Structure 1
Amino acid sequence: MIARLAQPKLRKLLQQFPAVALLGPRQVGKTTLAHSLADELGQQALYLDLELPSDRAKLTDAELYLSQHAERLVILDEIHRLPGIFETLRSLIDQRRRKGKRNCHFLLLGSASIDLLQQSAETLAGRIAYEELTPFSVSEVAEAGIGSADQLWVRGGFPDSFLAANDQDSFTWRSAFIQTYLERDVPALGPRIPAETLRRYWQMLAHNQGQMLNAAQIASGLGVSGHTVARYLDIMVDLLLVRRLQPWATNAKKRLVRTPKVYVRDTGLLHALLGIRDQEELLGHPVVGASWEGMLIENILHTLPATARPTFYRTSVGAEIDLVIEFSAKERWAIEVKRSLGNPAPSKGFYIGCEDIRATRQIVLYPGEERFRLDSTTEVMSLPWLLREIGT
């Protein structure tokens, strides 16, 4: 098993909260991670897969069954299959709290869905914490010593895709994953949307990777209303398949862009949606720059502390910063992504933007391995260097 960055975070949350929800897209490795934790605990853990009728049957009288395993960590996989269980969990947690027992009892696994998050947050308020498991990151792949950053970029980070025997097998897996998600998994989580309509919408987002959302254009292409386009985006964001990066919006003196930028979060899925099978095809495709930018941004956001606020900055006259990270009111990093080894210098608009937001650090990310100063205010470094900076 490849060590996941979420694992130590998950252990810590399990010590602090009586219930923890591990969320992430299908096939991202949630069950594998849960089994790893269960193996560490041995007989102190109980795993139930709620997609199995036999395991769901055990919870016909959930209060009675779970009370019999009060001293164990109960792992409930595919929790969306039994959403009504949250009230029972609240009752059991409160009973044990009254007895002075505060150790964690429930680990809930599921693909994020609006109804699931809302119901769990309302019913288990103050009793539950959330942790997201993403596809493999650059740091996880490097630590495991398998593959390369380029392989991760092309294939994406879903384990079965990244670890496939070759690029063709990886592409085949991702294509099947997309089809299954649209036809089975999305309807199972609640939304009733024709699979072909949602596929076309997802492909439109892929063609516009890293660009500001043009809802009117997409609505026209799909033959639906702007409201429907917004609802589709909410669904894709909620399922952790699409990233909606909000614009910086605190400088009232500038004419700032107010529309979010949108990224397909996993570059492997992005490339499958666009029919890109390998790195050669990717390097010749117009999406190459936006794809690389999206991969770097996802890796950065996955590493940020929960209190950091990521945005992008753009004005109507062209000042632009790819990523702004506000760690506090006094610490603000401006990050420009350049896929060029020979000339990583940012545009004039980047420097203007840095002045506008009063950036405390100015960083250019590039695909090289060296780290150097471009000028008195701007550093050039690779993604691993930046991730180490964030982690210290």
Structure 2
Amino acid sequence: MVMMRIIPRESKLRVERLLARAPAVVLTGPRQVGKTTLALDIARERGAAYLDLERPSDRAKLADVDAYCRRNAERLVVFDEIQRVPGLFEPLRGVIDRRRRDGRRTGHFLFLGSASIDLLRQSGETLAGRVAYCEMTSLNVGEVGAERLDDLWSRGGFPESLEAGDDADSFEWRLDFIQTYLERDIPALGPRIPSETLRRFWTMLAHNQGQTFNAAGLAKSLSLSGVTVARYLDLMVDLLLVRRLVSWRGNLGRRLVKAPKTYLRDSGVCHALLGIESLDSLLGHPVAGSSWEGLVIENIASALPAHASLGYYRTVGGAEVDLVIEAGAGEIWAVEIKRSTAPRISRGFHSACEDLRPARKLVVYPGLERFSLGRDIEAVPLSEVRAEFS
């Protein structure tokens, strides 16, 4: 058996900072991304109480929530898989308010959950003004190191996939991950969707990685309605498995492509759905360019401050930027993503920059050195690009 090394996670520092300023923190992220490992680490350091709400024995401890919280009044309490007991937020609001009146204002509860939108809505409605949020993504290049970039791209950023003994073990883990989501996790959240239908939809998204979302085309292929396909996409976005990158809608008087682009957020899962088992197979596959694009976007997104937003820009005339970042105060950054170690800039990017007038123009590529491409455009290695936004 290969022992998996422990990789320090950036999310830990963010969670600790939030616990220092808020009564409650919600940590979201897909299953197996490392939330529980991170929470147990924090719990061990702080002497916190930990409850796994998938266990009936731990749920039974909350038969009287107030009594449980009184017994643990001086401790951080971690609730794992909080979406299993959504009604828990209501009594905990009263606990937080009593403690705040008594002078204890921060660091009461840490909630962990795998589904995003419903969890954020439930907690936001009930704990308004009392809760902060952190999303834990799969591993990024800053956490694993530039020397492991090819592994990160090929295997994805789920720790057990990345750290598997060989490509075959990693691939098998990802296939099991997909099957578990289809057969257990998604049905447990409520949606009654045939697992084989959802697998086909998920696989079609992988084939169309980085393409504009064509609901009508997917619906025809799946013999479903466009409304149903859109609902499937909402579900995958909610589960933090798919990123919906919206079209940038600045008021420039241009005719823009308006449909969102979709990316499977973990490159390794994308490759598993397509049957790509190794880096050699990936390099010769048509999805390689768009898969690399998705990896770059996820690495950048994980480094952005909360107020920043992402989109893409494309006009019907061919002007295009892979990633538009609104960094705040009206500042726009234009990011082009190239898999080549000798990137070349298209006319469409130059044309788009004339429209957008970005403060920064970057080309992210898989090399090791920064260099100028002229016209205020800089090529930046992926291993360094996240520092641009910190």
- Report the TM-score, using the length of structure 1 for normalisation: 0.96
Tell which deviates more after alignment, 377-386 or 157-166.
377-386
SS in 2 for 1:136: coil
2:165 — aligned with what?
165
Structure 1 stretches of at least 4 aligned residues deviating more than 6 Å after TM superposition: none
2:56 — aligned with what?
53
CA distance in structure 2 between the partners assigned to 1:299 and 1:163 by the alignment? 19
Amino acid at match of 2:123: S
Q: Within 5 A, what are the aligned runs for 1:365-384?
A: 365-384=364-383
Indicate yes or no: 2:268 matched with 1:263.
no
Aligned-pair CA distance for 1:39 = 1.4
2:326 — aligned with what?
326
Task: Give CA deviations for 1:109-167 in whole Å, capped at 9, x if unaligned.
Answer: 11024433221111111111111111111100018xxx610001000010110000000
Residues 25 and 111, structure 2, Cα contact 8 Å, conserved in 1: yes
Residues 22 and 130, structure 1, Cα contact 8 Å, conserved in 2: yes
Residues 334 and 362, structure 1, Cα contact 8 Å, conserved in 2: yes
Aligned-pair CA distance for 1:283 = 0.9
1:21 — aligned with what?
26
Which of 54, 74, 78 is the equivalent residue of 2:77? Answer: 74
Tell which deviates more after alignment, 166-175 or 382-391.
382-391
Amino acid at match of 2:226: G
Q: Within 5 A, what are the aligned runs for 1:35-46?
A: 35-42=40-47, 45-46=48-49
Residues 113 and 189, structure 1, Cα contact 8 Å, conserved in 2: no
Aligned-pair CA distance for 1:252 = 4.1
2:245 — aligned with what?
245
2:3 — aligned with what?
none
1:31 — aligned with what?
36
Task: Give CA deviations for 1:51-74 in whole Å, capped at 9, x if unaligned.
Answer: 111111111111211222111100
Residues 112 and 238, structure 1, Cα contact 8 Å, conserved in 2: yes
Aligned-pair CA distance for 1:330 = 4.2
2:346 — aligned with what?
347
User: RMSD value over aligned CA atoms?
Assistant: 1.2
Unmatched runs of 5 consecutive residues or more in structure 1 = none
CA distance in structure 2 between the partners assigned to 1:138 and 1:259 by the alignment? 29
CA distance in structure 1 between the partners assigned to 2:303 and 2:119 by the alignment? 25
Amino acid at match of 1:371: R
Which of 3, 6, 10 is the equivalent residue of 2:8? Answer: 3
Residues 30 and 109, structure 1, Cα contact 8 Å, conserved in 2: yes
CA distance in structure 1 between the partners assigned to 2:190 and 2:86 by the alignment? 12
Task: Give CA deviations for 1:251-289 in whole Å, capped at 9, x if unaligned.
Answer: 341001111100000000000000100011111110000
CA distance in structure 1 between the partners assigned to 2:46 and 2:282 by the alignment? 44
Residues 326 and 332, structure 1, Cα contact 8 Å, conserved in 2: yes
Amino acid at match of 2:208: N
Percent sequence identity is 60
Aligned-pair CA distance for 1:100 = 2.2
Amino acid at match of 2:94: S
Amino acid at match of 1:27: Q
CA distance in structure 1 between the partners assigned to 2:337 and 2:252 by the alignment? 26
Amino acid at match of 2:356: I
CA distance in structure 1 between the partners assigned to 2:234 and 2:68 by the alignment? 36
Residues 209 and 290, structure 2, Cα contact 8 Å, conserved in 1: yes
Residues 136 and 159, structure 1, Cα contact 8 Å, conserved in 2: yes
The number of residues matched between the two structures is 385
Amino acid at match of 1:358: R
